[in-house]
């Protein structure tokens, strides 16, 4: 693929593509910008919809602008009104454009008199891509229905009409009604003692991008884990979750020591039902988390470190477009490692960094060249596709490289200042690089050549001299794995009794893609990996065992992938099944039974795997 066309801009190069408007939004913020959102919504479980009004406060940028353009997807618009400064309402003409598969429908509202606010009455559809509606049977306690949102990347438009671009930040308030006994929570300050009276109000005074707008409602109990933190979950889960996340206060304090005060007031965690498609979502004040991290030994609480880190990198300083999403995820993965090191020790942080780096080394060569760049050319990259291992793992690897070259103290000073200088703003890769050049490179000349930065950001692949941490325990596992595969070490002789989750992950990750069937059966006979309650280990085990041809694991693998909706832990097992005709038929049958329990995003991803496999056959 050709190199990115560039313009000279000061000390670095600016790709022409970033000068264009956000390709994943219809919004025209240069004409008018939304500054505040006021929601008044009702949660209707029988109809599986939210309905009510969204009132947008507007900042008119162009005196000649004649329309307000918003993003929507499958919303049913009842009416639109303009509100003047005195609150008087006037009906406005509007038009919904034909639906685009990815972007949804452009909503154009005629606003020749530039109203101070626009109020839109609307309802969502049961299949809204950013909402999932669960029956009581699909929840842990099976008493009440459950609903939750997942707005990242461009799914907020499926439940609120707005300017759905990370470049546009707004404050919001909300009034939400729901059936009594149901608790509603949002990405704002939540009152743990709020009565379950069906009437909830929320206020988010900090400007956030639309993908951080979040809501959930269901049978939700609360347990405090500290003066600034609590866990929310179904009653049968909340105690276990509170134990697993009891170190949340320590994590907040460790991050504040590194990067400055926590800006959001409270940091609460909502543990969702298993269908949640991600490990966690960093919604301000209320992280949404998967129950797959509740393994009892805190071995997977790095997820909390990651989502908490987003309170600085992502929520406080936000990527201005999905092409720049490594500014959120790469920075956050780096900060996650620093939090883990501060609270749980350097050995664990190094193991997690090595796991991600080795996985990226294995996968990056199979990606298109553009997808291997931290800042790719945005054309042809979907908003969801931008959230790849490159953004997370190459991005954090780049920052670890800077830390090694400049020294931790110097790099920490720059990073803390970076968060302060850009707080509550959305920036591009090029703006970050300008800050890096001025405040780190120019302040400490001769340490690192700027061409190395450009290679990391704009070139495909991983630089050959990229530094890696060392892990004596991983080195020992490498030797044992090699001896086991060579037949000089039996499965029972593996020194695995003391392995933590990360060490089992590393052992399994670096097995051959299609390991010998006899070796997999030996492992299972000794270490009983089939049926493991640890989903991280299970995903790796089932994928390799299926690839080896071990049909004895199929039933347990099916239970794993139909019970868990987290895509990262489910899709690899579907892919392993889909590699053979018999396995593909089995996976199709499993999906047909489990489909209704998956999130719409997970459904789409699984259907894509099955369709590609069927076409290939």
Provide the strand spans (E) within 341-380: none
Separation CA 308–CA 282 (nearest Å): 7
Q: Please answer whether residues 457 and 374 qualify as being in contact, where contact means their C-beta atoms are separated by less than 8 angstroms.
A: yes
| SS3 of 185-241 | EECCCCCCCCCCCCEEEEEEEEEEEHHHCCEEEECCEEEEEECCEEEEECHHHHHHH
Angle at which helix 326-344 crosses helix 248-259, to 10 degrees, equals 110
Q: Are strands 32-44 and 169-177 parallel, antiparallel or unpaired?
A: parallel
What kind and span of H or E run contains 475? helix 472-486
List 209's β-bridge partners, or say none. Answer: 169
Separation CA 120–CA 161 (nearest Å): 8
User: Rounded to whole angstroms, what are the CA distances from 282 to 28, 187, 232, 289?
Assistant: 26, 9, 15, 9
Q: Please answer whether residues 73 and 157 qualify as being in contact, where contact means their C-beta atoms are separated by less than 8 angstroms.
A: yes
How much is the CA Rg of the chain, to the nearest whole Å?
A: 24
Give the number of other CB atoms < 10 A from CB of residue 70: 30
Provide the token pair at 608: 């894509």
Identify which of 251, 443, 456 has the alpha carbon closest to the alpha carbon of residue 335.
251
Phi first, then psi, for residue 594 (nearest 5°) are -95, -10
The burial of 366, by beta-carbon neighbours within 10 Å (0-12 exposed, 13-18 middle, 19 or more buried), is given as: exposed
User: Rounded to whole angstroms, what are the CA distances from 121 to 81, 176, 247, 342, 610?
Assistant: 9, 14, 43, 49, 39
Residue 71 φ/ψ region, left for φ over 0, alpha for ψ in the -120 to 50 degree band, beta for the rest: beta
Q: Please answer whether residues 430 and 8 qualify as being in contact, where contact means their C-beta atoms are separated by less than 8 angstroms.
A: no
Q: Please answer whether residues 161 and 122 qualify as being in contact, where contact means their C-beta atoms are separated by less than 8 angstroms.
A: yes
Q: Please answer whether residues 303 and 241 qualify as being in contact, where contact means their C-beta atoms are separated by less than 8 angstroms.
A: no
Separation CA 162–CA 45 (nearest Å): 23
Identify which of 380, 330, 432, 390 has the alpha carbon closest to the alpha carbon of residue 23.
380
Separation CA 109–CA 24 (nearest Å): 19
Query: Which residue's structure tokens are 């490594």?
Result: 326
End-to-end alpha carbon distance in the chain:
29
**Residue numbers annotated as active site:** 307, 392
Separation CA 588–CA 209 (nearest Å): 37
450 contact partners, CB below 8 Å, separation of at least 6: 11, 12, 437, 441
The burial of 347, by beta-carbon neighbours within 10 Å (0-12 exposed, 13-18 middle, 19 or more buried), is given as: middle
């Amino acid at each position: 693929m050709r190199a990115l066309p560039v313009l000279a801009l000061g000390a670095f190069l600016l790709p022409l593509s970033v000068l264009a408007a956000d390709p994943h939004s219809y919004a025209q913020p240069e004409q008018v910008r939304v500054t505040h959102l006021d929601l008044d919504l009702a949660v209707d479980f029988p109809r599986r919809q939210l309905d009510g009004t969204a009132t947008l406060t507007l900042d008119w940028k162009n005196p000649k602008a004649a329309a307000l353009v918003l993003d929507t997807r499958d919303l049913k618009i009842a009416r639109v009104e303009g509100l003047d400064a005195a609150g008087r309402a006037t009906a406005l003409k509007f038009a919904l454009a034909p639906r685009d598969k990815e972007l949804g429908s452009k909503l154009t509202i005629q606003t020749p008199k530039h109203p101070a606010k626009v109020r839109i009455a609307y309802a969502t559809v049961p299949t809204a891509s950013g909402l999932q509606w669960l029956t009581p049977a699909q929840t842990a306690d099976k008493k009440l229905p459950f609903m939750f949102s997942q707005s990242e990347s461009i799914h907020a438009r499926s439940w609120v009409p707005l300017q759905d671009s990370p470049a546009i930040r707004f404050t919001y308030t909300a009034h939400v009604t729901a059936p009594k006994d149901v608790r509603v929570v949002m990405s704002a300050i939540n009152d743990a003692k709020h009565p379950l009276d069906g009437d909830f109000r929320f206020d988010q005074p900090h400007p956030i991008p639309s993908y951080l707008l979040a809501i959930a409602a269901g049978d939700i109990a609360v347990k405090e884990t500290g003066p600034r933190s609590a866990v929310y979950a179904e009653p049968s889960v909340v105690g276990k979750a509170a134990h697993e996340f009891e170190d949340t206060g320590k994590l907040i304090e460790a991050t504040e020591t590194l990067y400055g005060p926590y800006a959001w007031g409270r940091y609460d965690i909502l543990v969702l039902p298993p269908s949640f498609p991600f490990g966690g979502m960093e919604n301000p004040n209320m992280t949404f988390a998967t129950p797959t991290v509740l393994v009892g030994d805190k071995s997977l609480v790095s997820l909390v470190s990651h989502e908490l880190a987003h309170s600085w990198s992502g929520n406080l300083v936000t990527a201005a477009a999905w092409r720049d999403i490594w500014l959120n995820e790469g920075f956050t993965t780096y900060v996650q490692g620093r939090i883990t090191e501060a609270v749980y020790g350097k050995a664990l942080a190094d193991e997690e960094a090595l796991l991600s780096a080795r996985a990226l080394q294995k996968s990056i060569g199979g990606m298109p060249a553009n997808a291997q760049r931290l800042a790719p050319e945005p054309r042809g990259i979907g908003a969801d596709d931008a959230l790849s291992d490159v953004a997370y793992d190459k991005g954090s690897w780049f920052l670890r490289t800077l830390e090694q070259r400049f020294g931790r103290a110097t790099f920490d000073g720059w990073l803390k200042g970076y968060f302060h200088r850009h707080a509550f703003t959305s920036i591009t890769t090029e703006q970050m690089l300008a800050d890096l050049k001025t405040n780190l490179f120019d302040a400490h000349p001769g340490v690192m050549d700027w061409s190395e930065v450009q290679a990391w950001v704009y070139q495909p692949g991983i630089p050959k001299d990229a530094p890696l941490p060392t892990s004596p325990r991983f080195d020992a596992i490498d030797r044992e794995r090699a001896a086991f595969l060579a037949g000089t070490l039996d499965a029972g002789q593996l020194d695995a009794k003391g392995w933590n989750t990360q060490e089992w992950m590393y052992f399994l990750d670096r097995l051959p893609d299609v390991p010998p069937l006899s070796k997999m059966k030996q492992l299972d006979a000794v270490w009983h990996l089939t049926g493991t309650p640890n989903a991280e280990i299970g995903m790796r085990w089932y994928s390799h065992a299926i690839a080896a041809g071990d049909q004895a694991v199929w039933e347990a693998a099916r239970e794993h992938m139909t019970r868990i909706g987290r895509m990262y832990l489910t899709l690899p097992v579907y892919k392993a099944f889909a590699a053979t005709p018999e396995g593909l038929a089995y996976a199709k049958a499993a999906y047909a039974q489990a489909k209704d329990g998956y999130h719409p995003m997970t459904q789409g991803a699984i259907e894509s795997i099955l369709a590609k496999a069927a076409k290939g056959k």
